[in-house]
Amino acid sequence: MREGEGAILRCGVIDHFGIISRSEFGINAIAFDEPLTDKIVLETRRYHENFEDRERRALVEMARKWVTGDTDDDRTI
């Protein structure tokens, strides 16, 4: 991303538009149109703290379904 480009940040409870204000070494800073509230920042921190555990549980569940042939979709062969 380049400085001055528009972007939408979707992460946890955040779904905000902003402008890239700095971009260095693949890390971007975003100036949001509407400032994030303290509540959103705290919820995002909690989301991040549990992210690895949620991803690991989802992967284990996906593997279990694959091994057992359990599927949620309606496709048949």
> pLDDT (tens digit, 9 = 90+) per residue, 14-66?
888 999 999 998 888 999 988 888 988 888 888 888 888 888 999 999 999 99
Provide the pairing of β-strand 14-24 with 27-32: antiparallel
Q: Would you kindly state where each structural domain of the chain is located, as residue ranges?
A: 6-68
Half-sphere exposure at residue 33, Cβ-oriented, CA atoms within 13 angstroms: 10
Q: What is the pLDDT of residues 4-17, one digit of tens each?
A: 999 998 877 788 89
Residue 3, pLDDT > 60, answer: yes
3-class SS of residue 39? helix
Q: How high is the pLDDT of residue 55?
A: 87
Give 49-57's long-range contacts (Cβ < 8 A, gap of 24+).
Answer: none
The residues near 3 (Cβ < 8 Å, ≥ 6 apart) are: 20, 21, 22, 23
